[in-house]
Amino acid sequence: MAGYILRRLLQAIPVFIGTTFLIYFMVFALPGDPIIALFGDKTPNPAVVAQLRAQYHLDQPFVVQYLIYMGGIFRGDFGISFSGQPVTEILARTFPVTLRLAVIALLIETIAGILVGMVAGLRKGKLFDGTTLAISLILISLPVFVIAFVAQFVFGVQLGWARTTVGEGAPTIDLILPAIVLASISFAQIVRLTRSSVIETSSLDFVRTAYSKGLGRGRIIPVHILRNSLIPVVTYLATDFGVLLVGATVTEGIFNVPGVGNTLYQAIIRGEGPTVVSFVTVMVLIYLLVNLAVDLLYGLLDPRIRYVK
């Protein structure tokens, strides 16, 4: 087990170097000069532009720029944004917000999704099942920004139940509405996954055996059916957590959440190389770790799965 984890972690190193190089190259290859764009519609003096380029090492060839950047990373220096803040500070400020948003969304979609999916699966073909099927279809087919705008208008502007945008310090209560919006689409997926998995498990022999040996539904459903139905759901949840963690640009933009997606979007628009590369690098690392965690979770849920050294 330990050897397996170690090997997976070692694999992350070339992935890390490869992604930073690729992302850095992509930002470098973006057409247009970000320094000229800093001046808006006004045309800057070439001498001032040259000074600024030198300040951000933009006058160096690509490989030199990349090496300067990587050298900084190993000293814990992720570069400086155009507004003069160290990128590490920006990371430290935005990731906790996105993490909280992701955890709330994950909790909502897990609890609601599994409950509704289980009931629907147990009452296959009944009214409840049909209704959830229809609702989940609608949720899956709606683009997230539609859900977000409607939720913001109805609950924020008209009913006044929630703040329209996230306030100072991103208090958790403000994050609930955006989290519900984020959770809505995954919720539909989880309902459908849980439902089909519950139906499949319910028809297996060991469930029939449990019933025939006289066990009550109160024990069979949670322990025998649900636990064995959860493997595909957990896989989905874990990858979804990864997706949520790397930021939901659209939703964060609509609710003005000062999180990762929002910040990264602004940085891309401005062509701020160091910010974009550092953010994406951290996202890649998170994704790698989450994937590793998923693979390990399989073993806990299903004892038949073993890891070879």
For other proteins, the binding residues (CB under 8 A) are 30-34, 36-48, 51-52, 55, 82-85, 89-90, 93-94, 149, 152-153, 156-157, 160, 163-165, 167-170, 252-256, 258, 262-263, 265-266, 269-271
Q: What is the C-alpha to C-alpha distance for residues 55 and 49, in angstroms, rounded to an integer?
A: 10
Would you say 140 and 190 are in contact if contact means Cβ atoms under 8 Å apart? no
Q: In this complex, which beta carbon is closest to other proteins, that of residue 109 or of residue 252? A: 252
Q: In this complex, which beta carbon is closest to other proteins, that of residue 57 or of residue 93? A: 93
Q: In this complex, which beta carbon is closest to other proteins, that of residue 81 or of residue 132? A: 81
Q: In this complex, which beta carbon is closest to other proteins, that of residue 164 or of residue 235? A: 164
Closest-CA residue to 124 (of 41, 53, 201, 213): 201
Question: Least distance to other proteins from the beta carbon of 255, Å?
Answer: 7
Amino acid code (one letter) for 113: G
In sequence order, what are the residues at sequence separation of 6 or more whose Cβ sits closer than 8 angstroms to the Cβ of residue 75?
Answer: none
CA distances from 199 to 117, 192, 205, 214, 228 (A): 10, 11, 13, 21, 11
Closest-CA residue to 136 (of 73, 191, 87): 191
Question: Least distance to other proteins from the beta carbon of 82, Å?
Answer: 6
Q: In this complex, which beta carbon is closest to other proteins, that of residue 62 or of residue 206? A: 62
Question: Least distance to other proteins from the beta carbon of 27, Å?
Answer: 11
Question: Least distance to other proteins from the beta carbon of 173, Å?
Answer: 14
Closest-CA residue to 149 (of 256, 247, 252, 254): 254
Amino acid code (one letter) for 133: L
Question: Least distance to other proteins from the beta carbon of 36, Å?
Answer: 5
